[in-house]
Amino acid sequence: MKSNNRYLGALIMAPFIIFIFLGGIWLKYFTIALSVLGLYEFYKTVKVKKMKPIVFMGYLLLALYYLTDNNFEILSYMIIIATFILLCVPIINLKYNFIDVSITLLGFIYVGVFFSFIYLVNSKYGGQYLVWLIFLSSWFCDTMAYYAGRLFGKHKLCPKVSPKKTIEGSLGGVLGSTLACVIFGIILSKYYPIVSISNYLVIGILCGVFCQLGDLVASSIKRYVGIKDYSNLIPGHGGILDRFDSILFAAVVVYFYLTFIVFI
């Protein structure tokens, strides 16, 4: 039954690839939907530990962020103003405290802003192709880490956060991400020489490391709260944050690397 659920979950996930191919405004709508669902899961999760995020403000910030077309300058002003206002809330309403304020802002940045980097990469020069680096690195990192861990795993990587992960599996994950990005880069460069192969190599290594950190971050939150999955939205896979935890970090890595190293 569990195996069938995983196949069903994979079938549900398959149409998401269509949005990557479509790109543009369709991919933006897709990332908005992921942000909304992911933010809902995050706020619902922290409530298990009796935290009380100011949900309305989180969704309001998310809406304003996308309405400003993901403008980082405006985003910085938004975060400062929101922090200023939210810190006053516990004074007016003793139901909330500074931890609730912090969790509200963390959810918006971790879920809402991180997801937006998928669309922002797609908006760059050659982004309709480079956006695939986010997903290929994550998928191949997860797959290779799983099989390398099963075949060779002996030394625990981070047992207190994720007991099943091993150092051998982690190395396999970095290798999988790197190979995927380099092979993709070699094929793409024959038709669209956007960046050098060496950059695909570095992106693959960085994503291989940070994809796993993204996975561990999501696991650490769940372990602290005491839940197995963020939700049951995707059968056999959990929720949006369970399935996209590594993609969130890969999106940030790819965007900043292309922006500040490659200067695209």
Ordered by start, the domain boundaries in the chain are 3-262
How many DSSP H helices and E strands does the chain contain?
14, 2
Q: Give the integer Cα–Cα distance in Å for 17 and 32.
A: 15
Q: Give the integer Cα–Cα distance in Å for 51 and 44.
A: 10
One-letter amino acid at 199 equals N
pLDDT of residue 9: 54
* Mean pLDDT, rounded, of the chain: 93
Give residues with Cβ within 8 angstroms of 107, minimum separation 6: 39, 42, 43, 46, 53, 58
Q: Read off the pLDDT of residues 29-82 as tens digits, 9 standing for 90 and up.
A: 999 999 999 999 999 999 999 999 999 999 999 999 999 999 999 999 999 999
pLDDT greater than 70 at residue 8: no
The 3-state DSSP class for residue 19 equals: helix
Enter the pTM of the model: 0.93
Q: Give the integer Cα–Cα distance in Å for 63 and 48.
A: 25
pLDDT of residue 17: 86
> 210: pLDDT confidence band, cut at 50, 70 and 90?
very high
The neighbour count for residue 165, using CB atoms within 10 Å, is: 22
- Specify whether the CB–CB gap between 166 and 154 falls below 8 A: yes
**Range 107-134 average pLDDT:** 97
Q: Give the integer Cα–Cα distance in Å for 163 and 142.
A: 16
Q: Give the integer Cα–Cα distance in Å for 49 and 222.
A: 11
Q: Give the integer Cα–Cα distance in Å for 196 and 182.
A: 10
